[in-house]
Structure 1
Amino acid sequence: MTERAAIKHSLGLIFEGIRHLHDAFGGRRKFTIDGRLVGDIGEVMAELHYELRLDETSQPTYDATTKDGRRVQVKATFKESLTLSSVPDLYLGLKLHEDGTFEEIFNGPGQLIAERYAHRKGIGEKLLSFPIKELRLLQSSVDDKDRVTRRGS
């Protein structure tokens, strides 16, 4: 297969997958390839696995709401860091895997991340990246009552 044919074939598979996601989730998210795809996948995975309701339209500072009204910012990645741009009530950071599984990296108050990284210029004001390894450690200090509850828990 030539490089041009490989691009054409691969993009066809990607867009077929996007159509499947859009159809499966009733248009709750757009799954656009231009920067929103991973985030939208993370948000619908969060809705499937956690007791939260996605807002009809993602807001700049949160994506979902828990039963008790707390606002949740859902962030997802396939890489080794997650981002934060504001300080939400709750922050749910997920590392996605190619097989459709995920790891919970951080589930707790956004304020804990802001306090831990208070020394970073722009914390809570602009998009900053945080290593997954450090967020996992920080999560160990979160009480269960301060987390988004997993479905079936």
Structure 2
Amino acid sequence: MKEEIQEQIAGALEQLFDGVSKLQAAFPGKPFTLDGRLVGDIGEIVASLHYQITLNEGLTKHHDAVADDGRNVQIKTTFSKNLTFPVGHVPDYYLGIKLNRDGSFEEIYNGPGKLIKEELKRRAPTSTGLHGNLMGQLKRINLTIPDAERIPRR
């Protein structure tokens, strides 16, 4: 079942990126990135296949899923090099992943949100309500997180 869903995602992504390539060729200078709600939704599905979490129904404030052990999890996804973190709240647990065009992914961060908040405490709030360009910081912090504080893989 998991492999079948992953194949469906990979096929759909191939079609999406083919469409993006055609738009980029027709309108040079426009990136036509897929980041946004679509990427977030795909990331949540991918995370639910690979981590011990259950996705919340519909759109929920601050957290996207609940881990099997009851921890609330916010999932952030990108196809590029930009993961964000909220300014106005601290998610209990944060799972940041970078999707690849073939549907595979790289775990960038898997751990408590408070560790990210501590790292960002000197950053000024932004007008968007999100801290951005965190890839390097998240990868560095992720190396320090004990397994017991991570959301387990399936």
Report the TM-score, using the length of structure 1 for normalisation.
0.73
Distance 1:136 1:130 in 2: 12
Q: Is the 8 A contact 2:72 2:91 kept in 1?
A: yes
- Change over 3 Å in CA distance of 1:34–1:118 after alignment to 2: closer
Q: How many residues align?
A: 121
Distance 2:146 2:59 in 1: 27
Find the counterpart in structure 2 of residue 93 from structure 1.
96
Find the counterpart in structure 2 of residue 66 from structure 1.
67
Distance 1:118 1:142 in 2: 19
Name segments (4+ residues, structure 1) moved above 3 Å. Answer: none
> Does 1:139 find its partner at 2:142?
yes
Superposed, which structure 2 residues align to 1:14-93 within 5 Å?
A: 14=16, 35-85=36-86, 86-93=89-96
- Change over 3 Å in CA distance of 1:117–1:34 after alignment to 2: closer
1:37-85 superposed Cα distances (whole Å, 9 cap, x missing partner): 0000000000000000000123121100012211100000011120111
**Bigger RCO of structures 1 and 2 (CA < 8 A, at least 6 apart):** 2
Find the counterpart in structure 2 of residue 148 from structure 1.
151
Q: Is the 8 A contact 2:52 2:68 kept in 1?
A: yes
> Does 1:119 find its partner at 2:119?
no
For 2:39, the aligned partner's letter is: V
Find the counterpart in structure 1 of residue 31 from structure 2.
none
The 10-residue stretch of structure 1 (106-115 or 127-136) with the greater mean CA deviation from structure 2: 127-136
Q: CA RMSD in A?
A: 2.1
Report the TM-score, using the length of structure 2 for normalisation.
0.73
Unpaired stretches in structure 1, ≥5 consecutive residues: 1-12, 18-32
Identity of counterpart residues, as a percentage? 47
Distance 2:125 2:117 in 1: 10
